[in-house]
A and B are shown apart, each in its own frame.
Chain A
Amino acid sequence: MVVKVYGPVYASSKRVLVCLIEKEIEFETVPVDILKGEHKQPEFLKLQPFGTLPVTQEGDYTLYESRATMRYYAEKYRSQGTDLLGKTIEERGQVENWLDIEANRYNPPIYTLTLHILFSSLFGFTPDQNLIKESEEKLAKVLDVYEERLSTSKYLAGDFISLADLSHLPFTQYLVGPMGKENMIRSRKHVSAWWDDISSRPSWQKVLHLYAAPV
């Protein structure tokens, strides 16, 4: 049964793609055009009632929420590819801890920055400069905590790479690339080294090569 990932070009979907590649799982992709509103059409809402991406299907089995999907495949294919969940239940606890930090602390400000800086003209709204400034400040504070963490730990959950690190790739790529805010990463020595490490992984390079971002 082939794994199908909907909307591969979008950042959230790329969390799933990089995980599948690390786990050596074959997959197909199905394009979804957000600008045409395809994600709000009735057929799509049957798959994902909240109208967001990604959705992943394997035969009849459908999953949404990128981080839930990453967890599933990382566990299901535990014995192949890169180990992404740590080796013990305690190590997995640290992975969950930092994956939730990415979701609840890191993602909200970086998502707001992405929306307002990169997608405002595509979606036809005026970027809110105050919100941009606030989000950048929030993100800077989070990155300060990361700098401290990564000064004593090679990766976020410990000395092993995990879903917690990979989960940061898509939106951080936007930050250092088209958003022109690479200094936020480079001005922090340990964050910078960590970013170089995770973004140079062949799996991420493959995602960037195969699924060009819409901006």
Chain B
Amino acid sequence: MVVKVYGPVRAACVQRVLLCLLEKDVEFEIVHVDLDAGEHKAPDFLLRQPFGQVPAIEDGDLKLFESRAIIRYYAAKYEERGPKLLGKSLEERAVVDQWVEVEAHNFNDLVYTLVLQLVILPRMGKQGDLALAHGCEQKLEKVLDIYDQRLSNSTYLAGDTFTLADLTHLPAIRYLVNDAGMGHLVTQREHVNAWLQTISNRSAWKKLMMLANY
């Protein structure tokens, strides 16, 4: 059964799911959702995701939403196949969960706001709030200092192997560095920089970049 992933291939949250499926070699089909046309707020879509957001998946009878819930599900379902995205023990898994939560609560909102103000709104012909963006940048500096400290004694965020903790960061970091011009936040931090180089070099990420036409 092919997993159907609903959402545009360029949306960060959708990419989080696609990346996990690529890492685990799970076949999928992308069902495009036109956000500009408001397709995600149409009654049909709301039956699938009642908060009107992407992504949502359908896998036979199973329907799920929330990208980090979806990646946890597939990482567990296909634990025996491909990279150990949940770590090698329950204790490691909890540290993976911890850093996925950190990404969701301490990292994602700052990056999202920055990208919205500096990239998305201007693309729509609207004025971004530069002061707000700058505030986010300053907060992100402090957060990335903590990441740099962590990565100075751990090759990957949750330990010595690549896990969901690292994977979950890739889509938003790409927006931050490539689209919002905030590469200095990464390159100025030796360990964050090395970590990003390593995880962006994975073949699943490269496949996703091709799929998304970057």
Task: Check if A96 sits within 8 Å of B50, measured CB to CB.
Answer: no
Q: Does B211 contact A (CB under 8 A)?
A: no
Distance A92 CA – B73 CA, assembled complex (angstroms)? 8
Q: Does B66 contact A (CB under 8 A)?
A: yes
Task: Check if B95 sits within 8 Å of A63, measured CB to CB.
Answer: yes
Q: Does B150 contact A (CB under 8 A)?
A: yes
Distance (whole angstroms) from the CB of B72 to the closest CB of chain A: 5
Q: Does A94 contact B (CB under 8 A)?
A: yes
Q: What is the interface size of chain B, counting residues whose CB is below 8 A from a CB of the partner?
A: 30
- The 9 lowest CB-CB distance pairs between A and B, nearest first, are A96-B69, A72-B94, A65-B101, A68-B97, A100-B66, A93-B73, A68-B98, A97-B69, A100-B69
User: Among the listed stretches A22-30, A34-42, A101-109, A119-127, which one makes contact with chain B, having 4 or more residues with CB under 8 Å of it?
Assistant: A101-109
Task: Write out, one digit per residue, whether chain B residues 48-68 have a CB within 8 A of any chain A CB (1) or not (0).
Answer: 001100000000001011101
CB-CB nearest in chain B for A102 = B66
Task: Check if B98 sits within 8 Å of A63, measured CB to CB.
Answer: yes
User: Apart from A72-B90, A94-B64, what are 18 other A-B pairs with CB-CB below 8 Å?
Assistant: A49-B146, A50-B146, A63-B98, A65-B101, A68-B95, A72-B93, A75-B90, A76-B90, A89-B77, A92-B73, A93-B62, A96-B64, A97-B70, A100-B66, A103-B104, A105-B51, A145-B50, A145-B51
Interface residues on A, range: 20 to 34
Q: Does A137 contact B (CB under 8 A)?
A: no
Task: Write out, one digit per residue, whether chain A residues 70-96 have a CB within 8 A of any chain B CB (1) or not (0).
Answer: 011001100000000000011011101
Q: Which residues of B are found within 8 Å of A96, using beta-carbon distances?
A: 64, 66, 68-69, 72-73
Q: Does A116 contact B (CB under 8 A)?
A: no
Task: Check if A64 sits within 8 Å of B73, measured CB to CB.
Answer: no
Task: Write out, one digit per residue, whether chain B residues 154-180 have a CB within 8 A of any chain A CB (1) or not (0).
Answer: 000000000000000000000000000
Q: Does A128 contact B (CB under 8 A)?
A: no
Which chain A residues have a beta carbon within 8 Å of chain B's beta carbons? 49-50, 61, 63-65, 67-69, 71-72, 75-76, 89-90, 92-94, 96-97, 99-101, 103-105, 142, 145, 148-149
Q: Which residues of A are found within 8 Å of B62, using beta-carbon distances?
A: 90, 93
